[in-house]
Amino acid sequence: MITLAPDKITKRHRELDAYVYVRQSTLKQVQQNQESRHNQYALVQRAIDLGWVPERIHLIDCDLGQSGQDSQRPGFQNLVAAVSLGKVGLILAYEASRLACNNTDWYTLLDLATVVGVLIADTEGIYDPRDYNDRLLLGLRGLLSEAELYTLRLRMDAGRRRQVEQGRYQQHVPTGLVRLEDGRVSKTPDLQVQRTIELVFARFATLGSWKIGPTEPAR
């Protein structure tokens, strides 16, 4: 539960906007871990409990299913832009250190929050990056989060190598293909998907580009 920390939240903070950032790293998490997403959306009510009126609370969830390593996350970019423009008084995330999964983005956000005076909150508490102890804690949590992801990738790579050595590894097939029970790869039975992919290849053969013109919508 978020600590109220009334000494950190000022009238100036509440006169600015609160941004709730919702993210899960993969589409599989989005589909299977719905409880986590529900808990993140509940942070909107947390912002209300902390004194923000609903009209000043913005929910950013367009990065659901986007990896933290993806530099094209529009939601995170919009959040950073709002902070740099001085519009934000509070950022809420289920885990503050997971706002950005690499230290470059994380410290960029911390630096901006320090300059303009933005509070950062998660389920553990509320932090003021201008406070030395809070900034130190946030920095350490960012380092630990990145180290955790690095260790997880090492374990996944090791597991993949073992599967390859044992002849059990099955690579994910591209869109439009499916793997049958006997291990063979075949076209998807979805005829609409088949026709769309065939159209893309046909247009590429004709134009040398995969892009379809505005007057030639995919069918």
Give pLDDT, residue 4. Answer: 47
**What backbone torsions phi and psi does residue 189 show, to the nearest 5 degrees?**
-70, -10
Among 28-32, 59-63, 137-141, 159-163, the minimum mean pLDDT is found in 28-32
Entry pTM: 0.65
Percent of the chain with pLDDT over 90: 31
> DSSP string spanning 1-45?
-----TTT--HHHHHSEEEEE---SSHHHHHH-HHHHHHHHTHHH
Pick the catalytic residue from 25, 71, 97, 209: 25
Q: What would the pLDDT profile of 45-75 be if each residue is shown by its tens digit?
A: 999 999 999 999 999 988 776 655 555 678 8
The span from the CA of 186 to the CA of 95, in Å, is 41
Residue 175 has what pLDDT?
79
More confident residue, 188 or 69: 188
CATH value of 11-146 in 3.40.50.300, 3.40.50.1390, 3.40.228.10, 3.20.20.70: 3.40.50.1390
Return d(Cα 123, Cα 139) in angstroms, integer.
17
Q: Tell me the pLDDT tens digit for each residue of 148-167.
A: 666 767 777 787 788 777 77
Q: At a CB cut-off of 8 Å and minimum separation 6, what does 122 contact?
A: 2, 92, 93, 94, 95, 96
> What are the pLDDT digits (tens) for 88-100?
999 999 887 667 6
**What's the chain's average pLDDT?**
80
Amino acid at 190: D
Q: Is 36 a catalytic residue?
A: no
Sequence ranges of the domains in the chain: 11-146, 177-207
Name the DSSP class of 96: G
DSSP run (H or E) holding 90? strand 88-92
